[in-house]
Structure 1
């Protein structure tokens, strides 16, 4: 099964999650996965939903692993083993104001931590993308960052302003990372996700921000603030690396567009129509 997912170019994280899902259901019944029936699999999911309160994402992950097992490994007809995915909950992203984030950054005295959090907010990159960003991925001559570890192994370029580049240069001169932009104590090994979360949690606490602040919250805030600054939705979609505009459009429900320039269609004044 691992080989099948590697051929499909699944990320190591996805492979690990799918394998773990099947191991858990196998251990639950003390049976090899190929001997577990459709009804047993459904009963297992029901148990996890009621007892462990698992999320829709975890359910979808288990169903995805189940489908690969049945169709690609055991070559069975999916209709005989199909499990319908749960309905997607449409949630509006939680965000911080720009003032809150700047206040949070002001509490960070460690240069490495400051560079990490500043880059996360200034670019809207995903946590995994930042932690696997390599030195060679930063094109300072063109003010661009190549995201080579994007979701689904999709690459994209993100512009980076001189202010953020200046922070990264100052950080590099002091820490001299070997391969990845942000590394732990061991050279050549990327900074850990738990360390990222911890420094963000502590910074938020010092800034007296009571809500839970995560790396993804910085990404949501970036997207919302970009819309509020006038960036068009298509451009934002490309920066965030979303497959569809529909995914990006959720930020329209969060952004404060009250200051946007909305034309008066009933005003026949030529100068107004021409934007003068």
Structure 2
């Protein structure tokens, strides 16, 4: 795997990360990862989600496993089946009516206050 990573000119940090994630996968099952298949990958993903691993770490693990199975082992059937985690959607902060009123009252001048009110009413929040 390290030869494949080096041949593809991946950065040393990426190489370290991929090897680390595949090693953690191997330790989780106590067997060589070339003896493991799709069901074990799914079980490991479920384990990581259950431990509330961050979205970035989960996708880094998926990339490492896809590289290992697809490039190093040459198993073309498996990498496409290993799913990436979806990007978490964050809900916007919603201000209370009192907070909006206080914000609009801080504007100096009628023209600026009307411009802010029109922007807020048109839902042009950043």
For the superposition of Structure 1 and Structure 2, which TM-score range results when normalised by the shorter chain?
A: 0.5 to 0.7
CA apart distance, 1:89? 2.7
Answer yes or no: is 1:24 the counterpart of 2:1: no
Distance 2:17 2:43 in 1: 20
> Greater share of helix residues, 1 or 2?
2
Deviations 1:24-45 (A, max 9, x none): 1101111001011111111112
Distance 2:84 2:10 in 1: 20
**1:61 matched residue in structure 2:** 60
* 1:27 alignment partner, SS class: helix
Q: How many residues align?
A: 93
**TM-score (norm: length of structure 2):** 0.65
Runs of at least 4 residues of structure 1 off by over 4 A?
A: none
- What per-residue deviation string (whole Å, max 9, x for no partner) do you get for residues 47-99 of structure 1? 12212x1011111111111111111111112357621111123559xxxxxxx
Q: In 2 relative to 1, CA 34–5 (structure 1 residues): closer, same or farther, beyond 3 Å?
A: same
Task: Name the residue aligned to 1:41.
Answer: 41
Q: 1:35 to 1:85 in 2, by over 3 A?
A: same
* Deviation string, structure 1 residues 127-163 (Cα, Å, up to 9, x no partner): xxxxxxxxxxxxxxxxxxxxxxxxxxxxxxxxxxxxx
Asked if 2 retains the 8 angstrom alpha-carbon contact of 1:48 and 1:54, the reply is yes
Decide whether aligned partners of structure 1 residues 42 and 58 sit closer, same or farther in structure 2, where only a CA change above 3 A counts. same
Gaps of 5+ in 1: 93-252, 255-276
Work out whether 1:86 is the aligned partner of 2:82. no
Name the CA shift for 1:87/1:71 in 2 (closer, same or farther; >3 Å): same
Give the distance between the partners of 1:59 and 1:41, measured in 2 at CA. Answer: 12
Give 1:9's aligned residue.
9
TM-score by length of 1: 0.31
Distance 1:11 1:23 in 2: 18
Is there any run of 5+ residues in structure 2 with no aligned partner, and where? 92-124
Show the 5 A alignment for 1:231-250.
none
Separation in 1, partners of 2:64, 2:77: 13
> Which structure would you say has the larger Rg?
2
The 5 Å alignment of 1:215-230 reads none
Q: Distance in 2 between matches of 1:38 and 1:16?
A: 23
8 Å contact from structure 2 (residues 18, 64) kept in 1: yes
For 1:246-265, list aligned pairs within 5 A.
none
Indicate how the Cα distance of structure 1 residues 80 and 59 shifts in structure 2: closer, same or farther if over 3 A, else same. closer
